[in-house]
Chains A and B, each alone.
Chain A
Amino acid sequence: MELIDFYADWCGPCQMMKPVVEEFEKAHPEITVKSINIDDEEELAEKYGVSSIPCFVVLKDGEEVAREVGAMPLKKLEKLVGVKRG
């Protein structure tokens, strides 16, 4: 499983998500988390059709299985990826 976090430095809700994503990474080392700065990687943002950030895309075997836009608490991010703590 892979979680892609599309963000930008100038985006407030993305700043809110930074500590949440860090906490997620700590709690779920089994999930690969990639944080993509859309200013640096425009092509990747375009490839995934990102039209609003923060945008979280969940991949299973390289295929997109879930997606959610906007800031959310850890609980919801875990629900999106389909993992539980502990």
Chain B
Amino acid sequence: MKKYDVIIVGAGIAGLTAAIYVSRAGKSVLVLESTMQGGQIINTINIENWPGDFKVSGAELSQKIYKQAEGLGAEIDFDNVEKIEKITEGFRVVAEDDEYIAGAIILAVGADPRKLSEKQTQDAGKRPISYCATCDGALYKGKPVVVVGSGNTAKHEMEYLQNIASKVYHIHHDDPIPEDAEAVFVAIGRVPATGNFADLVDLDERGYVVAGEDCKTSTPGVFVAGDCRTKEIRQLVTAAADGAVAATEACRYLG
């Protein structure tokens, strides 16, 4: 079984930044990503609040950080982590394709869009359901669409779609879906992707990994970074900051 000093779960901004710090500390590190590097930010076209890069796209930014981590010696592989267990040598990481051993763990699994309720999904019938207006909006040029949600994201999705669709309905998470809407755009918040780690660390009632600014979880040797941690502000820079803190604490733990 392959052994690493640190295994990072998730190659979003938090996970990749942690990989940079662990590599620079001279430890071996593997980042395991279940879908695609970059995380949520790859859906954003124009980022204006990442210092040093004005109007960079999420795709470009995440590619740059990915290459930086790789260039510093981090290994990055695509495998879905299903379970992590405490063993005498550290932690056994069970993924879909392989198993690994690590001295310390950093959970940087991020958050996924909250799915449309069953009632509204039924209501939508065969109509496409999208969680990303900037990805799919243009497929509904001149057609009526609906946005579900009441937060800031929903507002942004509406503004974006107003320039494309013939009509943009706005409904809340328990309203009926308008009959003539040809696609349903959903922005009803996010849920942390921590389901596989409920036995490993303490989660709060909403599923976030409980940890303070030191990124230490309830389990010694397991650290958490980014949007899946209990915290007030979830931004690119705070995800990156968490990555640095979690990596430093993980290296300190290993000694």
Query: Which A residues form the contact surface with B (CB < 8 A)?
Result: 8, 10-16, 19, 38-39, 45, 50-53, 70-76
Contacts and interface: CB of A to CB of B under 8 A. Distances in A.
B128 A38 contact: no
B44 interface: yes
A51 B38 contact: no
B66 to A, nearest CB: 10
Contacts of A76: 78
Q: Which of under 10, 10 to 19, 20 to 34, or 35 or more describes the interface residues of B?
A: 20 to 34
Contacts of B136: 51-53
Nearest to A52: B136
Interface in B51-103: 57-60, 62-63, 78
A14 B138 CA distance: 14
Contacts, number: 66
Contact of A10 (B33, B45, B63): B45
Main secondary structure of the interface of A (DSSP, over half): loop
A12 B57 contact: yes
Which among B38, B130, B135, B183 has the greatest number of chain A C-beta atoms within 10 A?
A: B135
B138 A13 contact: no
A50 B139 contact: yes
B117 interface: no
B38 A16 contact: yes
B43 interface: yes
B134 A10 contact: yes
B144 to A, nearest CB: 15
B33 A52 contact: no
Given A38-B139, A71-B36, A12 B78 contact: no
Interface string B180-212: 000100000000000000000000000000000
Contacts of A72: 35-36
Contacts of A14: 135
29 contacts: A10-B138, A11-B135, A12-B42, A12-B45, A12-B58, A13-B42, A13-B59, A13-B132, A14-B135, A15-B42, A15-B57, A16-B38, A16-B42, A39-B138, A50-B139, A51-B128, A51-B130, A51-B136, A51-B183, A52-B128, A52-B130, A52-B135, A53-B136, A53-B139, A70-B35, A70-B36, A71-B35, A73-B35, A76-B78
Contacts of B57: 12, 15
Contacts of B58: 12
A45 B138 CA distance: 12
A74 B138 CA distance: 26
A45 B139 contact: yes
B59 A52 contact: no
B97 to A, nearest CB: 8
B33 A73 contact: yes
Contacts of A10: 45, 134, 138
A47 B183 CA distance: 17
A39 B137 CA distance: 11
Given A16-B63, A52-B128, A70-B35, 19 more contacts: A8-B138, A10-B138, A11-B134, A12-B44, A12-B58, A13-B36, A13-B42, A13-B43, A15-B59, A16-B37, A19-B63, A50-B139, A51-B128, A51-B136, A53-B135, A53-B136, A71-B42, A72-B35, A73-B33
